[in-house]
């Protein structure tokens, strides 16, 4: 019984270990999907913006965000807070060109250390 438990724990750690983004061969968004689903069930607005941030990063850079990176954005990023405030005040904001432009400007810029960039800068 202890051996089975140990094998399960090792498998869990192996599936959630941190790897270099350039060497990451996992399917995109696998780490953040459960987190975003939980966010959407708690607050559809917060979960929707988080989904759009991750999708923008994947579409523009070919790389996903980790849960830790998404949490850091949600906790500390002024652009995210501006989007959330604007969406709270204007029910049409999430469908506006202003929102799409802000997503691309802030979260669609690829870093030069990633091995699979689609574009660099603006």
What angle (nearest 5°) sits at the alpha carbon of residue 63, between those of residues 60 and 69? 110
CB 110 within 8 A of CB 60: yes
> Among 42, 19, 43, 40, which residue's Cα sits nearest to residue 31?
19
More confident residue, 113 or 52: 52
Q: How confident is the model over 27-47, as a mean pLDDT?
A: 84
Whether the CA torsion 95, 37, 24, 112 is positive or negative: it is positive
pTM of the model: 0.67
- Sorted by sequence, the CB contacts under 8 Å of residue 37 that are 6+ apart come out as 47
User: 2-11, 41-50, 58-67, 112-121 — which one is most confidently predicted on average?
Assistant: 41-50
User: Per-residue pLDDT tens for 70-81?
Assistant: 999 999 999 999
More confident residue, 2 or 64: 64
The reported pLDDT for the residue numbered 99 is 96
CB 103 within 8 A of CB 52: yes
User: 27-31, 55-59, 60-64 — which one is most confidently predicted on average?
Assistant: 55-59
The reported pLDDT for the residue numbered 74 is 93
d(CA 112, CA 22) in angstroms, rounded, equals 10
The reported pLDDT for the residue numbered 21 is 44
The reported pLDDT for the residue numbered 20 is 41
């Amino acid at each position: 019984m202890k051996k089975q438990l140990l094998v399960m724990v090792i498998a869990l750690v192996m599936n959630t270990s941190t790897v270099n983004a350039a060497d990451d061969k996992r399917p995109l968004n696998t780490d953040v999907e459960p987190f975003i689903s939980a966010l959407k069930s708690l607050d559809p607005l917060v979960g929707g913006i988080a989904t759009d941030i991750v999708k923008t990063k994947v579409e523009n850079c070919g790389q996903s965000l980790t849960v830790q990176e998404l949490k850091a954005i949600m906790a500390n990023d002024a652009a995210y807070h501006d989007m959330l405030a604007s969406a709270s005040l204007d029910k049409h904001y999430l469908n506006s060109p202003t929102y799409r432009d802000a997503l691309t400007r802030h979260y669609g810029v690829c870093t030069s250390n990633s091995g699979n960039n689609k574009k660099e800068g603006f």
